[in-house]
Amino acid sequence: MKTVGAIHDLSCHGKASLAVVIPSLAALGVETSFLPTALLSTQTDGFSDYAYVDLTAMMENVIGHWKRLGLQFDGIYSGFLGSHRQIDTVSHFIDWQREQGANPLVLVDPVLGDQGKPYDPMTFEMIERMRSLVSIAHVTTPNLTEASLLLQEPFDPELPLERAALWARRLGSRGFRSVAITSVMDRNEGIVVAYDAHTDDVRLFRQPYAPVSYPGCGDFFASILCGMQVRGKPFFEAVDTASGIVSKAVHLTWESNREVRRGVSLELVMDELVGVFK
DSSP states of 124-146: HHHHHHHHHHHTT-SEE--BHHH
Nearest-Å Rg of the Cα atoms of the chain is 17
Per-chain mean pLDDT for the chain:
95
pTM surpassing 0.75? yes
Third-level CATH fold of 2-277: UDP-N-acetylmuramoyl-L-alanine:D-glutamate ligase (3.40.1190)
Check if the beta carbon of residue 11 is closer than 8 Å to that of residue 51. Answer: no
pLDDT at res. 176: 67
User: Which segments of 28-83 does DSSP mark as H helices, in order?
Assistant: 56-69
pLDDT at res. 130: 96
The HSE-up count of residue 249 (CA atoms within 13 Å, CB side) is: 31
Helix, strand, coil: what percent of the chain each, to 5?
A: 45, 25, 35
- Choose among 225, 128, 136, 213: nearest CA to 180: 225
Predicted confidence (pLDDT) per residue in 7-23, tens digit:
999 999 999 999 999 99
pLDDT, averaged in runs of 10, over the chain (278 residues):
98 96 98 98 94 97 98 98 96 96 94 92 92 95 97 95 96 86 93 94 95 94 98 98 98 95 96 96
Question: What ranges do the domains of the chain cover?
Answer: 2-277
- Choose among 163, 90, 87: nearest CA to 147: 163
DSSP 267: G
Check if the beta carbon of residue 11 is closer than 8 Å to that of residue 263. Answer: no
